[in-house]
Chains A and B, each alone.
Chain A
Amino acid sequence: MESRRNPRAVVDPKVRQVGFFTSSQPDSSSTQQQQQQTDPIPASASSPPVSTISPSGNSLSPVMIPPPRLNSSDTFPLRGAAAGASSAVSPSSFSYSNRRDFPDGSTTASPGRHSRGSFVKSSAPVASSLPGIGMDSMAAAKSSSVPASGLTTVSVVTMPPGLAEKASGMEVQSDQKKNPKSLKEKTTKAERRAIQEAQRAAKAAAKADGGKVPPGTSASVASTSVKVAKPAKPSTQKNEVSVAAGVTEKKGGPSEKDRKKDAPHPRMQYDDESRVVKAKRRAVVKQTEAKNRVELFRHLPQYEHGTQLPDLETKFFQLDPMHPAVYKVGLQYLSGDISGGNARCIAMLQAFQEVVKDYSTPPEKNLNRDMTAKISSYVSFLIECRPLSISMGNAIRFVKNRIAKLPITLSESEAKAALQSDIERFINDKIIGADMVIVKHAVTKIRDGDVLLTYGSPTAVEMILLHAHELKKKFRVLVVDSRPKLEGQLLLRRLIKRGISCTYTHINAISYIMHEVTKVFLGASSVLSNGTVYSRVGTACVAMVASAFRVPVLVCCEAYKFHERVQLDSICSNELGDPNAISKVHGREDINYLDGLTNNANLQFLNLMYDATPSDYISMIITDYGMVPPTSVPVIVREYQKEHLLV
């Protein structure tokens, strides 16, 4: 238990790759190899099946950006070592690789059962049917039963090493198979120059950092050299870390295009300079890193706002692989025209519907794989526009899962129709339908004479209030708002138009008005499995003050936004907004104290987008499965995930 919880980053890749290793018969690996050479998107194409087994494996977590598919230098040697040893067995990757080798008949049994609860059952038979690795399969079955029982463990174990790692894992392993020695003589001048450049860049970056050298800069310098040299295939590195070198050599093969299409690491840490450099090179959206950043949030991406949009607009005709619908949605994210978890998610899904409609399988390609790859590349584009929300991650997981589960027997048009209807159903059932159910539940909690407080502009709460008003309930609404978005004003306007009496105030005055409040209704961007509500920044403050005043806090959240991740604070993963929105106060020209100070090295602006509300402030979560206490979230996550994959 312990060993798997700790070295997540290390164990996971190792595990995955070993899974491949044990299972992949020579022919399968060679086909993989072949595919890798022909198809620019091998990694992402073949990775989705993994995700179907380990529920979170493929999840694109919300706040991360697109980044580079870089193999971090520290995980590599380990991975390589693991490959060499080939002793560790991971349940998930193991069964995954099995499945891929099987004829369709046998796989169709397992797809439906890929939720965690049923995981053991599905994997065991598969394993046993595989000849020659009885020991390993036993181990796999056994260890997989642990995650099934322990909820939190599951989430930790299956946390996202991400597609990139998977991809690289595959590469390592395939490298292992055909030892590439022809590459060795390719150590060239270009490569040495690349190393030099990397070091110079790292040095410059360190200097720009203002003498505040982050720990491990030296390490990152070294890793930069490895990475930058990668395309040029460094054999110098090979002496030190032979396995890593093997990997990098392999990577020398794929073209620029290949790298571009690689799926991003979903939770890239932006304090790793070398990775950022790589990510930038790959990015479709040209983004300028903000210069003056808060030290505490270096791991999160922050770009100069307003620089991306014009650049992206000019690129419109060059981005032929981008579907116009996706492009449009991306621009809307970027400009902030679409915001709010549900709206963003629906927009994305509808764009994907368009994509599916216009899709035609290229010759000699497999619909499942090619489309998954396409979706992945679109997703990374969307991430570049704005980090995904958790709900979007879940929806993407669903779409990819559906694609992967398409029976091969279907013709292309049938498959497309099935996908489109699946997506449609997801939108209708999981988002729109869920909201209806939530409204129905929540309205029962509103009585005559209530004073309801809400914060920001949550769509679900708005629907509840309007519905309660239609039911002729007599209540008053306090709309609490906060800078810089001031979304509450929009909600206020809509509520007043409908004839609801409202009081409007800023979040600072929350203690002043909390006396009169009888219930607090909040929205959420996501509910994590430790009961933490991840929501618009300020929600935690409201919930805290409400619980200090003994006012019940009701959180309305559709179940598709639940996630098995856990989070304790609002620092580790979050999204940074435009810092300039803080220095400028909209509509108040008299507040100009900070004009001209925005580039002062001593002054930073921090515009957090989300915060994490501890579960002890929350009385109840209203979801489409009913009204539950926050402690029941992990149960719903588990049950829901099963159904979610079955849909």
Chain B
Amino acid sequence: MPDVQSMVAEFVNKLRKRKIEGSQATAKCTVELLRSVISHQRVPHANQAAALIDAVKAVGQQLVAANPVELAVGNVVRRVLHIIREEDLSLTTAAMAGLDLLDASDDDDIDNCKGIGYPAMSAAVVAAAARSTLRPPSLQTLLEGTPESATVPYTSSSGADSESKTADKSSLTRKLKHDVIEGVNQLIQEISGCHEQIAEQAIEHIHQNEVILTLGSSRTVLEFLCAAKEKKRSFRVFVAEGAPRYQGHLLAKELVARGLQTTVITDSAVFAMISRVNMVIIGAHAVMANGGVIGPVGVNMAALAAKKHAVPFVVLAGSHKLCPLYPHNPEVLLNELRSPSELLDFGEFSDCLDFGAGSGSLQVVNPTFDYVPPNLVSLFITDTGGHNPSYMYRLIADYYSADDLVM
């Protein structure tokens, strides 16, 4: 346990100092940390799920507080919570179904049901709910009238049943933790594999001789473009350099190394060039529930220009970037100001910073992110396929439980 604590503390420190760059790396670190938290968590016999959830939540709150702007942390924590709830539900329903077969009116069973929080729900409905969580919603499940929230309002009731634990139950306990860790492992795989998943779709979106504009440096975009290149598409890429971090230079270097025709332009030339561009592809920092995108600074400008010239604006985002929150004033509240020294050399302007001598004051603004409202986005490409901005809220509902939205 203490080693988990120290791991958490270390990670919190890293987040706070912004040592971890990029939402994918952050997400991966977070989920790995959570996995060890779960595996080290001693689970009581009763209500293991609640215990796990509490533990994960406690750690998650620390992590989110350490870097509230890195939304991927919160997303991953919510995903893990969702996994725990799902596994728990499927186990109980399975157990319940088994018990149902034995004796539908068993007291113990009813107790169990109450503890879960569906006292009056028939086993069939619960099973349907479980199905809906495990499978993509089909027309049938929708028609069966199981509210989507059926899986959601599952509260971890105290349910201190002093009932005798059957052997069945203790195995169930171990099984839950095992299943959860299994699920978390799957999540890790999903996060590390999202590039390939997204890149696979590249060929459907890039045609021969296309001219693509991109901005900032995103591994997803790099893989996406390279995947199309490997499929023998020939196209050229304009890369806006992305001052003051110049991540565009980095991306350009990688693209050139992979043999793509690359042209580096200044950020100011985005509007001038957009009329000759067929598609704008950017990697998101986070995707909000309303379909808005938080991306590298300068993205909004490119999106507006693309809108003006009716150029498709495509956002690539792994599912760990889907954030279930609706943004309010995201330009300011979900942003981060970096060091002014990236813009102005302090040495050159130190004489101007003399406030006493009647000279004006000087502020330097160097934000990291930019918010693109959903109406400027043409398409999201996630690892599950392409989606409209207006569909994002629904996609997000698949990944998170409504309970966890506020942590």
Q: How far is the CA of A612 from the CA of B265 in the complex (A)?
A: 16
- 24 residue pairs of the A-B complex, CB under 8 angstroms, read A495-B360, A498-B359, A501-B361, A502-B362, A505-B365, A506-B267, A507-B268, A508-B244, A509-B366, A509-B367, A537-B266, A538-B271, A540-B272, A541-B301, A541-B305, A544-B305, A582-B264, A585-B249, A594-B249, A602-B255, A606-B238, A606-B269, A607-B266, A611-B271
**Partner of A602 from B256, B268, B304, B349 at Cβ < 8 Å:** B256
The answer to whether the Cβ of B261 comes within 8 Å of any Cβ in the partner chain is: yes
**Number of interface residues, chain B, beta carbon within 8 A:** 59
Q: How far is the CA of A597 from the CA of B366 in the complex (A)?
A: 28
Given contacts A597-B253, A603-B252, A607-B266, contact A512 B301 (CB under 8 A): no
Interface of B, secondary structure class, is mixed
Contact A296 B276 (CB under 8 A): yes
Contact A605 B276 (CB under 8 A): no
Q: How far is the CA of A582 from the CA of B332 in the complex (A)?
A: 30
Contact A503 B264 (CB under 8 A): no
Q: How far is the CA of A594 from the CA of B265 in the complex (A)?
A: 13
Contact B352 A507 (CB under 8 A): no
Contact B265 A600 (CB under 8 A): no
The answer to whether the Cβ of A591 comes within 8 Å of any Cβ in the partner chain is: yes
Q: How far is the CA of A483 from the CA of B248 in the complex (A)?
A: 13
Contact A603 B256 (CB under 8 A): yes
The answer to whether the Cβ of B331 comes within 8 Å of any Cβ in the partner chain is: yes
The answer to whether the Cβ of B201 comes within 8 Å of any Cβ in the partner chain is: no
B300 partner residues in chain A, CB cutoff 8 A: 511, 545
The answer to whether the Cβ of A504 comes within 8 Å of any Cβ in the partner chain is: yes
A602 partner residues in chain B, CB cutoff 8 A: 255-256, 259-262
Q: How far is the CA of A585 from the CA of B343 in the complex (A)?
A: 11
**Partner of B352 from A294, A497, A506, A597 at Cβ < 8 Å:** A497
Contact B301 A545 (CB under 8 A): yes
Q: How far is the CA of A515 from the CA of B371 in the complex (A)?
A: 13
Given contacts A506-B343, A511-B300, A603-B262, contact A541 B364 (CB under 8 A): no
A603 partner residues in chain B, CB cutoff 8 A: 252, 256, 262-264
The answer to whether the Cβ of B243 comes within 8 Å of any Cβ in the partner chain is: yes
Contact with B along A487-506 (1 / 0, CB 8 A): 00100110111111111111
The answer to whether the Cβ of B13 comes within 8 Å of any Cβ in the partner chain is: no
The answer to whether the Cβ of A257 comes within 8 Å of any Cβ in the partner chain is: no
**Partner of A483 from B238, B252, B268, B304 at Cβ < 8 Å:** B268
Q: How far is the CA of A503 from the CA of B366 in the complex (A)?
A: 10
The answer to whether the Cβ of A583 comes within 8 Å of any Cβ in the partner chain is: yes
Nearest chain-B residue to A510 (Cβ)? B301
B272 partner residues in chain A, CB cutoff 8 A: 537, 540, 569-571, 574, 608, 611-612
Tally inter-chain residue pairs, CB-CB below 8 A.
199
A585 partner residues in chain B, CB cutoff 8 A: 246, 249
The answer to whether the Cβ of A484 comes within 8 Å of any Cβ in the partner chain is: yes
Query: A195 to chain B: closest CB distance in Å?
Result: 35
Contact B359 A541 (CB under 8 A): no
The answer to whether the Cβ of A548 comes within 8 Å of any Cβ in the partner chain is: yes
B266 partner residues in chain A, CB cutoff 8 A: 482-484, 537-538, 582, 606-608
A540 partner residues in chain B, CB cutoff 8 A: 271-272
B335 partner residues in chain A, CB cutoff 8 A: 512
The answer to whether the Cβ of A103 comes within 8 Å of any Cβ in the partner chain is: no
Q: How far is the CA of A509 from the CA of B332 in the complex (A)?
A: 11
List A residues 510-550 near B (Cβ within 8 Å). 510-513, 515, 536-538, 540-541, 544-545, 548
Contact B256 A600 (CB under 8 A): yes
The answer to whether the Cβ of B225 comes within 8 Å of any Cβ in the partner chain is: no
Nearest chain-B residue to A548 (Cβ)? B304
Contact A503 B344 (CB under 8 A): no
**Number of interface residues, chain A, beta carbon within 8 A:** 62
The answer to whether the Cβ of B363 comes within 8 Å of any Cβ in the partner chain is: yes
The answer to whether the Cβ of B298 comes within 8 Å of any Cβ in the partner chain is: yes
Contact B268 A593 (CB under 8 A): no
**Partner of A571 from B276, B308, B362, B370 at Cβ < 8 Å:** B276
B301 partner residues in chain A, CB cutoff 8 A: 507-508, 510-511, 541, 544-545
A499 partner residues in chain B, CB cutoff 8 A: 358-360
Contact A515 B331 (CB under 8 A): yes
Contact A537 B268 (CB under 8 A): yes
A513 partner residues in chain B, CB cutoff 8 A: 365
Nearest chain-A residue to B297 (Cβ)? A508
B361 partner residues in chain A, CB cutoff 8 A: 496, 501-502
Q: How far is the CA of A585 from the CA of B349 in the complex (A)?
A: 18
Contact A512 B343 (CB under 8 A): no
Contact A502 B360 (CB under 8 A): yes
B275 partner residues in chain A, CB cutoff 8 A: 569-571
A504 partner residues in chain B, CB cutoff 8 A: 343-344, 362-365
Most buried by A among B332, B342, B364: B364
A189 partner residues in chain B, CB cutoff 8 A: none
A131 partner residues in chain B, CB cutoff 8 A: none
Contact B365 A503 (CB under 8 A): yes
A295 partner residues in chain B, CB cutoff 8 A: 236
The answer to whether the Cβ of B242 comes within 8 Å of any Cβ in the partner chain is: yes
B358 partner residues in chain A, CB cutoff 8 A: 499
Q: Give 7 nearest A-B pairs by CB, closest first.
A: A538-B268, A508-B298, A570-B272, A611-B272, A511-B300, A482-B268, A540-B271
Given contacts A505-B364, A509-B365, contact A593 B263 (CB under 8 A): no
The answer to whether the Cβ of A75 comes within 8 Å of any Cβ in the partner chain is: no
The answer to whether the Cβ of A178 comes within 8 Å of any Cβ in the partner chain is: no
Query: B350 to chain A: closest CB distance in Å?
Result: 12
Query: A464 to chain B: closest CB distance in Å?
Result: 16
**Partner of B264 from A501, A509, A606, A614 at Cβ < 8 Å:** A606
The answer to whether the Cβ of A449 comes within 8 Å of any Cβ in the partner chain is: no
A507 partner residues in chain B, CB cutoff 8 A: 243, 267-268, 298, 301
The answer to whether the Cβ of A604 comes within 8 Å of any Cβ in the partner chain is: yes
A506 partner residues in chain B, CB cutoff 8 A: 243-244, 267, 297, 343, 366
A503 partner residues in chain B, CB cutoff 8 A: 362-365
The answer to whether the Cβ of B241 comes within 8 Å of any Cβ in the partner chain is: yes
Contact A545 B363 (CB under 8 A): no
Q: How far is the CA of A594 from the CA of B249 in the complex (A)?
A: 6
Most buried by B among A503, A603, A614: A603
Nearest chain-B residue to A478 (Cβ)? B365
The answer to whether the Cβ of A363 comes within 8 Å of any Cβ in the partner chain is: no
Q: How far is the CA of A540 from the CA of B242 in the complex (A)?
A: 17
Q: How far is the CA of A500 from the CA of B360 in the complex (A)?
A: 4
Nearest chain-B residue to A536 (Cβ)? B268
Query: B328 to chain A: closest CB distance in Å?
Result: 14
> Knowing that A505-B365, A511-B371 are A-B contacts, what are 15 other residue pairs whose CB atoms are under 8 Å apart, sorted by A's residue number?
A492-B362, A501-B362, A503-B362, A504-B343, A506-B243, A507-B268, A508-B298, A509-B365, A512-B335, A536-B268, A544-B271, A603-B256, A605-B264, A608-B265, A614-B308
The answer to whether the Cβ of B270 comes within 8 Å of any Cβ in the partner chain is: yes
Q: How far is the CA of A505 from the CA of B267 in the complex (A)?
A: 13
A597 partner residues in chain B, CB cutoff 8 A: 252-253, 256
A481 partner residues in chain B, CB cutoff 8 A: 343
A509 partner residues in chain B, CB cutoff 8 A: 297-298, 365-367, 370
Contact B264 A594 (CB under 8 A): yes
Query: B383 to chain A: closest CB distance in Å?
Result: 28
B238 partner residues in chain A, CB cutoff 8 A: 606
The answer to whether the Cβ of B3 comes within 8 Å of any Cβ in the partner chain is: no
**Partner of B345 from A294, A587, A608 at Cβ < 8 Å:** A587
The answer to whether the Cβ of A588 comes within 8 Å of any Cβ in the partner chain is: yes
Contact B360 A496 (CB under 8 A): yes
Q: How far is the CA of A482 from the CA of B252 in the complex (A)?
A: 19
Contact A541 B252 (CB under 8 A): no
Q: How far is the CA of A200 from the CA of B256 in the complex (A)?
A: 32
Contact with A along B264-307 (1 / 0, CB 8 A): 11111111110110000000000000000000011011001100
A611 partner residues in chain B, CB cutoff 8 A: 268-269, 271-272
The answer to whether the Cβ of B250 comes within 8 Å of any Cβ in the partner chain is: yes
Contact A512 B269 (CB under 8 A): no
Given contacts A482-B243, A499-B358, A503-B365, contact A508 B267 (CB under 8 A): yes
Nearest chain-B residue to A495 (Cβ)? B360
Most buried by A among B246, B301, B361: B301
